[in-house]
């Protein structure tokens, strides 16, 4: 083993997580899977069937994990957190961003409890720790007319993984154990994230989005920064000025005009 490398692969103790969630009124059904093509695909499939609001699909390992914009999400067995959450709430499309925001904030809260370090969010769905990507969220929905029939929000979080094993990435990556220098009990972190999500999501469902917006902006790593946006229509540099109510990124071009960005990859310029 190389110096400063932390090896801590163990299977998740689902009973410990259930114990932590015993008072939850959100989480109704749990699917603890060892290996699956994608928890996102399973959650969508059971969303088409009768699985209830608050169903958690968790896996130790995925063979076809998917990220945003059709990318692959790789995660080693026994080292990370991989799950998708099925929600049967009725939201208009412009509120979906706030489901991702609730999960992102819950992850930041969980990271702080587990590691003492402040997690940050890079629009729209990346979780950053110490300036490097530590996780990502993928939120998808099936609509009935203009409202969601069900939502699936999936998280991949590098917990006890060694980033030296990563293939060449276009941005720096890390794991929680890498940043704190010790193994993390995944049960505790997962329990904290799920409890935090339940609390934040209840605000969203009650129409109390303001507190979520404020919390999200305080974790927003890009605010006021010079960035490169790579979207479907090409790439350009600009300054990030804020976030719109529908979750679009607000940017200012070099000529002073302000405009929203709805999709794309955003990277910080040094
Ligand atoms: C991203 O950063 O692009 C988002 C990554 C989301 C990955 C998670 S892992 C659990 C769930 N299942 C999947 O196939 N994808 C999401």
pLDDT 10s digits, 29-48: 999 999 999 999 999 999 99
85 CA to middle of ligand 1, Å?
11
CA distance from start to end of the chain: 34
pLDDT averaged over every residue in the chain: 93
Confirm or reject: Cβ of 138 under 6 Å from ligand 1.
Answer: yes
Mean pLDDT of 149-174: 89
Beta carbon of 186 within 6 Å of any ligand 1 atom: no
pLDDT beyond 70 at 251: yes
With beta carbons less than 8 A apart as the criterion, state whether 130 and 117 touch: yes
- Residue 5 reports pLDDT greater than 90: no
Please tell me the distance from the alpha carbon of residue 103 to that of residue 121, in angstroms, as a whole number.
11
Other residues' Cβ atoms within 10 Å of the Cβ of residue 147: 13
Q: Is the pLDDT of residue 168 over 90?
A: no
Tell how far the Cα of 94 is from the centroid of ligand 1, in angstroms. 21
Confidence of residue 3 (pLDDT cuts 50, 70, 90): very low
Top mutation candidate among 155, 169, 171 for ligand 1, by most atoms within 8 Å of CB: 155
* Ligand 1 center from residue 243 Cα (angstroms): 23
The yes-or-no verdict on residue 232 having pLDDT over 90 is no
The CB of 69 under 6 Å from ligand 1? The reply is no
User: Half-sphere exposure of 158 toward its Cβ, with a 13 Å CA cutoff?
Assistant: 29
Share of the chain above pLDDT 90, in %: 83
- In ligand 1, the atom with minimum distance to the C-alpha of 125 is 2
Helix (H, G, I), strand (E, B) or coil at 14: helix
Instruction: Phi first, then psi: give them for residue 202, nearest 5 degrees.
Output: -65, -35
Section 191-195 average pLDDT? 98
Model pLDDT, residue 1: 38
- Which amino acid residue places its CA nearest to atom 7 of ligand 1? 156
Residue with tokens 């609390």: 199
Would you tell me how many other CB atoms lie within 10 Å of the CB of residue 45? 13
Q: How far is the CA of 154 from the centre of ligand 1 (A)?
A: 5
71 C-alpha to ligand 1 centroid (Å): 9
Task: Give distance in angstroms: CA of 99 to centre of ligand 1.
Answer: 15
Which of 37, 73, 171, 173 is the best mutation target for the ligand 1 pocket, counting ligand atoms within 8 Å of the beta carbon and taking the most? 73
**Does residue 75 have a pLDDT over 90?**
no
Model confidence at 199: pLDDT above 80: yes
Which pLDDT does position 70 carry in this prediction?
A: 86
pLDDT in tens, 116-151: 999 999 999 999 999 999 999 999 999 999 999 999
Do the Cβ atoms of 269 and 226 come closer than 8 Å? yes
What pTM does this model have? Answer: 0.94
pLDDT of residue 138: 98
Ligand 1 lined by 135 (C-beta under 6 Å)? no
Ligand 1: atom nearest CA of 66 is 14
198: left (phi over 0), alpha (psi -120 to 50) or beta: alpha
Mean pLDDT across 76-89: 94
pLDDT the model gives residue 2:
44
Q: Residue 269: what pLDDT?
A: 79
């Amino acid at each position: 083993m190389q110096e400063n490398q932390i090896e801590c692969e163990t299977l998740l103790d689902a009973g410990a997580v259930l114990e932590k969630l015993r008072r939850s009124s959100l989480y109704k059904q749990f699917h603890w899977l060892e290996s699956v093509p994608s928890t996102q695909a399973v959650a969508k499939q059971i969303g088409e069937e009768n699985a209830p609001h608050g169903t958690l699909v968790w896996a130790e390992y995925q063979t076809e994990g998917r990220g945003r914009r059709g990318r692959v999400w790789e995660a080693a067995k026994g080292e990370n957190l991989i799950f998708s959450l099925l929600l049967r709430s009725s939201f208009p499309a412009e509120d979906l961003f706030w489901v991702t925001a609730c999960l992102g904030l819950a992850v930041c809260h969980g990271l702080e409890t587990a590691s003492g370090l402040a997690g940050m969010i890079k629009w729209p769905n990346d979780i950053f720790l110490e300036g490097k990507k530590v996780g990502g969220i993928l939120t998808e929905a099936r609509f009935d007319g203009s409202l969601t029939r069900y939502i699936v929000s999936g998280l991949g979080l590098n917990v006890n993984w060694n980033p030296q094993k990563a293939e060449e990435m276009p941005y720096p990556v890390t794991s929680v154990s890498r940043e704190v220098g010790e193994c993390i009990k995944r049960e505790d972190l997962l329990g904290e994230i799920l409890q935090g999500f339940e609390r934040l999501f209840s605000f969203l469902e009650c129409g109390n989005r303001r507190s979520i917006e404020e919390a999200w902006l305080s974790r927003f790593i890009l605010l006021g920064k010079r960035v490169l946006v790579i979207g479907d229509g090409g790439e350009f540099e600009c300054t990030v000025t804020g976030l719109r109510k529908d979750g679009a990124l607000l940017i200012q071009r070099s000529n002073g005009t302000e405009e929203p960005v709805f999709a794309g990859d955003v990277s910080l310029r040094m």
